[in-house]
């Protein structure tokens, strides 16, 4: 990379972090972290996805889009990435920053994923990724999201979750009988990774 490219990548990253931190100051419990996930977390979390079988990828809580470009880089040309976030600051930022026609940023809660998926013309999602801070969400929101996620995933699809605590696993385990687990310490803070696979029989 040339020095000028390096400078522009660094300034892009700094402006992303600034927007992310602004969102954290507004809603600390909903954001749950002061800086975005690391590239190590992104790589490890996405590694098990079978991209050639993925038409619709959904992400909850994209923030400033740490996962969005890596997902778009791997997604088939006719695939779609729908991201859902409750914070208009982040949704507006993403709509400006990402101009890929396969990308759709929705302002709303992940609890409404079923309606959102159908409104984009799909019966189900192939993969759903979550960066939601399950342990600090309002009472009842986490279990509702886990249940709606299981209903809208296709059999054989997966719910990909990263979190600082293992709380999300409790919600996932009510619906997903096969959960794989990992850990990434090169992240602020180090985080737990879970892949909940929806069984073919569901
Ligand atoms: C820890 S941040 C995730 C940041 C980003 N995905 C990353 O890896 O850097 C959590 C995000 O979840 C969003 N959020 C919180 N509750 C939500 C909900 N019910 N539905 C959708 N997004 C939500 C917050 O606005 C915030 O963007």
- pLDDT: which is higher, 164 or 66: 66
Determine which helix (DSSP H) or strand (DSSP E) holds 173, and give its type and residue range.
Answer: helix 167-173
Whether 27 has a pLDDT exceeding 90, the answer reads no
Domain ranges of the chain: 3-197
Distance of CA 88 from the midpoint of ligand 1 (Å) = 11
**pLDDT, tens only, 79-115:** 999 999 999 999 999 999 999 999 999 999 999 999 9
Please state, rounded to an integer, the average pLDDT across all residues of the chain. 91
What residues are in contact with ligand 1 under a 6 Å CB criterion?
30-33, 36-37, 60-63, 66-67, 84-87, 90, 109-110, 131-133, 137, 141
Fold of 3-197: Rossmann fold (3.40.50)
Upstream peptide bond of 189 is cis (omega within 30 degrees of 0): yes
Q: In the block, which residue shows the tokens 């985080």?
A: 191
| DSSP for 173-185, written as a single string | HTT-SEEEEEEE-
pLDDT of the residue at 159: 98
| Residue 65, number of CB atoms within 10 A of its CB | 24
Two structure tokens written together for 155: 């059999």
Strand 153-163 versus strand 125-130 pairing type? parallel
Q: State mean pLDDT over 183-198.
A: 92
């Amino acid at each position: 990379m040339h020095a000028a490219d390096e400078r522009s990548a660094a300034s892009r990253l700094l402006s992303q972090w600034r927007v992310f931190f602004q969102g954290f100051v507004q809603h600390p419990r909903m954001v749950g972290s002061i800086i975005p996930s690391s590239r190590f977390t992104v790589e490890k979390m996405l590694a098990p996805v079978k991209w050639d079988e993925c038409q619709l990828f959904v992400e909850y809580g994209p923030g400033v889009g740490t996962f969005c470009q890596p997902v778009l880089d791997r997604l088939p040309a006719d695939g779609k990435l729908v991201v859902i976030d409750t914070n208009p600051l982040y949704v507006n930022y993403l709509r400006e920053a990402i101009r890929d026609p396969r990308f759709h940023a929705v302002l709303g809660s992940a609890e409404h994923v079923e309606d959102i998926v159908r409104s984009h013309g799909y019966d189900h999602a192939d993969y759903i990724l979550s960066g939601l801070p399950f342990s600090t969400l309002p009472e009842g929101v986490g279990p509702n999201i886990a249940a709606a996620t299981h209903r809208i995933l296709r059999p054989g699809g997966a719910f990909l979750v990263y979190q600082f605590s293992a709380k999300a696993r409790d919600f996932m385990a009510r619906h997903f009988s096969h959960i794989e687990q990992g850990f990434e310490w090169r992240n602020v803070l180090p985080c737990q990774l879970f892949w909940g696979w929806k069984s073919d029989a569901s």
